[in-house]
Amino acid sequence: MKFQEIISRLTGVSTPVFGIQWNPPEPQRAAARRVIAFLEDRRVLFVPSEMESPEHCVQSILRIREFLTQELGGLDSDQPLAQSLRAMRAACRKCLATVEADDRRIIEFGAHRNHYASWIFNGAIGELRGVFGIHIAALAASHGLDVEGDLASILPATET
């Protein structure tokens, strides 16, 4: 999804967010680009839940959380980028706590192991995707970045 379309989804206008008032420094823009590129390959954020197993989802969420922590290490804590990364990391922790997976043990959902049709599991993944969609859209808009592929499907919807 192109930067201009992301802007219109966030604000309802088609003018750029940055320019005269604020132009993000290149290290922040590079960090935002790395985060978006990494998340574009995290299936847990966009693949329908019936195509995933809880164990694979949890492993992916753990990797996302670790990656966000690494990126945060190079940022000032008061930067908007750092605040978004902390919010996404908190969403990872909340999702993992909901499925009781912090110690890498996943509670059994349904009658069979890896049963995908769990209201609890799907709800936790849906909430994670919602939080990430908002923050990814904000990162892309504030740093002038496009969001490619399936990851764009979790960005906030346009008004119809």
3-state helix/strand/coil string of 35-85: HHHHHCCCHHHCCCHHHCCHHHHHHHHHHHHHHHHHHHCCCCCCCHHHHHH
Locus of tokens 């346009």: 158
- pLDDT of the chain, 160 residues: tens digit per residue: 565 565 555 544 344 444 434 455 678 889 999 999 999 999 999 998 767 777 888 899 999 999 999 999 988 888 899 999 999 999 999 999 888 755 555 555 544 555 544 677 888 999 999 999 999 999 999 998 999 889 999 999 876 6
> Quick one: pLDDT at residue 150?
93
> Quick one: pLDDT at residue 54?
79
> Quick one: pLDDT at residue 88?
98
> Quick one: pLDDT at residue 140?
93
| Entry pTM | 0.77
> Quick one: pLDDT at residue 23?
57
